[in-house]
């Protein structure tokens, strides 16, 4: 049996570890990972660039201006039809912008959206001004999220329809 001192020490260690992980800069998320080449858009210096990235889970429409190593990007994110039909609540959604090199390797990561507890039919908008790291040739996007699935009985949270938690993502892969 664990003594009180050992339990307190264990909890203190766990909290310290959690605090250290929470302090990691998002810029280093996925550094060195390989973005899907179909998801890479060349970064060009023009008056204004527009684009769309659509996956099974979401539809991201964006526009940006890039000059003097600064990127001003804005847009809207809508969840896919699957989530609108089968999901009653999005618990979390993180949408990332990846600055990638000419080999589609992630140099740096920025959050476009960090959202919690919203309905899948809601549209999320974003506007960011970001410094572009040296060596950036293109942009890529990614996301991870958790959705509370509808049990199908139409009674929402009170029903016993068998809904569950659905985790979804589209992120760069570890390099080989």
Cβ-based neighbour number of residue 106 at 10 Å = 23
| Per-residue confidence in pLDDT tens, the chain, 176 aa | 555 555 545 555 544 444 444 444 566 789 999 999 889 999 988 789 999 999 999 999 999 999 999 999 999 999 999 998 889 899 999 999 999 999 999 999 999 999 989 999 999 999 999 999 999 999 999 999 999 887 654 444 444 455 688 899 999 999 76
Whole-Å CA distances, 86 to 15, 58, 72, 126? 36, 14, 34, 25
Which DSSP state fits 101? -
Average pLDDT, the chain: 83
* pLDDT tens per residue, range 55-73: 999 999 999 999 999 999 9
Q: What is the largest CA-CA distance in the chain?
A: 68
Give residue limits of the domains in the chain: 26-170
Strands 165-170 and 87-100: unpaired
Choices 2.60.420, 1.10.760, 1.20.120, 2.60.40: CATH for 26-170: 2.60.40
Which DSSP state fits 3? -
Whole-Å CA distances, 154 to 38, 103, 151? 38, 48, 7
Length of the chain: 176
In this prediction the pTM is 0.78
* pLDDT tens per residue, range 17-43: 444 444 445 667 899 999 998 899 999
* φ, ψ dihedrals at 127, nearest 5°: -155, 120
Which DSSP state fits 5? H
108 sits in which H/E element = strand 106-118
């Amino acid at each position: 049996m664990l003594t009180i001192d050992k339990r307190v020490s264990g909890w203190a260690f766990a909290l310290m570890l959690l605090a250290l992980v929470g302090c990691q800069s998002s810029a280093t998320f996925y550094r060195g990972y390989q973005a899907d080449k179909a998801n890479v858009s060349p970064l060009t210096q023009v008056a204004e660039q527009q684009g769309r990235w659509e996956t099974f889970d979401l539809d991201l429409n964006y526009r940006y201006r890039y000059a003097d190593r600064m990127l001003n990007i804005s847009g809207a994110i809508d969840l896919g039809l699957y989530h609108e039909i089968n999901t009653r609540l999005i618990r979390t959604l993180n949408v990332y912008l990846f600055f990638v090199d000419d080999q589609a390797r992630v140099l740096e990561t920025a959050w476009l959206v960090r959202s919690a507890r919203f309905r899948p039919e809601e549209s999320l908008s974003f506007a960011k001004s970001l410094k572009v790291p040296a060596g950036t040739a293109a942009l890529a996007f990614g996301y991870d999220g958790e959705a509370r699935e509808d049990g199908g009985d139409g009674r929402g949270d009170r029903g016993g329809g068998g809904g569950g938690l659905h985790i979804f993502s589209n992120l760069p892969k570890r390099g080989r």
